[in-house]
Amino acid sequence: MATVRERPARGGRGSSSAPAHGVAAEAGRRILLPLVLMALVTLGIGLLITKVMEHSTLVAQDEAISREIAQERTPFWNDVTHYASMLSDTPVIIVVTAIMAVLFRLVYRRWRESVFLVAAVCAQSAIFLLATVFAQRARPHVPHLDPAPPTSSYPSGHTSAAVAFYCGTALVLTLHTHRHTILKALWWLLGAGAALAVGLARLYRGMHHLTDVSWGYVLGIFCVVVLAQALLLRPLAASRRAASGRAVRGAARA
């Protein structure tokens, strides 16, 4: 009896690498491309402020706002803003991000939420550092209540980091407690409140101009939205559709 030889599977290594290429292309399209565009826009605005509009009304108004705020300082608000600003100090953000990443991994038993939070914090940090290197803006010409770090005033890294971590954490918790309105409101009250407090504190303490803090908010929100859409919301929607499909097929078989 003649035997039939099994034909080797076509594609070889190519068949296994195709999905990997597809995943990489999807990640590049949904994550890397938007972040690169945001980096270019952030850098472009920084260069516009420091090189083209250096003597413009906008820059003069920025300085006037900083001077006006400095004149209204009080010992009480000096203390309050000191602790508010500390919420987004670099060592604090590094430690709390690591802690929450570990907690998310242990509680949810997967890496998705942890990767999202770390990626959001790192993405805004990378764009912030790029802007400070090439668009070096002097800090407001008022007494500074904090030691001035070596980075420039634009954009506010404290603000963007606060949005990435505190609002990113609030988003993760909201997705897992979406049926509890009170909890959702609590997460966003704490997350958005912390980010808002940090930005106002940096402005009050003379460490950034209003435009620096404003773009810090834009940068942080952009990073959270882009990475949440790619790493949290799309996979969550796909898993819910799959679960719904399985439920329909199970009901049809019954």
pLDDT one-digit tens code per residue, 201-222: 999 999 999 999 999 999 999 9
Predicted pLDDT at 217: 98
Percentage of the chain exceeding pLDDT 90: 72
Percentage of the chain exceeding pLDDT 70: 81
Mean pLDDT of 119-146: 94
- Over 50: is that where the pLDDT of 185 sits? yes
Predicted pLDDT at 150: 78
- Local confidence band at 1 (pLDDT 50, 70, 90 cut-offs): very low
For residue 63, the tally of other CB atoms under 10 A from its CB is 15
> How many domains is the chain built from?
1
**72 falls within a domain:** no
**62 falls within a domain:** no
**11 falls within a domain:** no
**250 falls within a domain:** no
Lowest mean pLDDT across 8-17, 120-129, 132-141: 8-17
> In which element (H, E) is residue 81 found?
helix 75-86
Predicted pLDDT at 140: 94
For the stretch 222-225, contacts whose Cβ atoms lie closer than 8 Å and that sit 24 or more positions apart, written own/partner, are: 222/34, 222/38, 223/35, 223/38, 223/120, 223/123, 223/124, 223/127, 223/160, 223/163, 223/164, 224/120, 224/163, 224/164, 224/167, 224/168, 224/171
**33 falls within a domain:** no
Nearest to 63 by CA among 138, 132, 141: 141
- Over 60: is that where the pLDDT of 237 sits? no
pTM over 0.95: no
Predicted pLDDT at 205: 96
- Over 70: is that where the pLDDT of 179 sits? yes
Q: Ranked by mean pLDDT, which of 22-31, 148-157, 230-239 comes out on top?
A: 148-157
Domain residues for the domain of 98 are 77-239
- Rounded Cα–Cα distance for residues 227 and 208 (Å): 27
**92 falls within a domain:** yes
Mean pLDDT of 144-170: 93
- Over 80: is that where the pLDDT of 231 sits? yes
Per-residue pLDDT reduced to its tens digit, 56-110: 998 999 999 999 999 999 999 999 999 999 999 999 999 999 999 999 999 999 9
**251 falls within a domain:** no
**169 falls within a domain:** yes
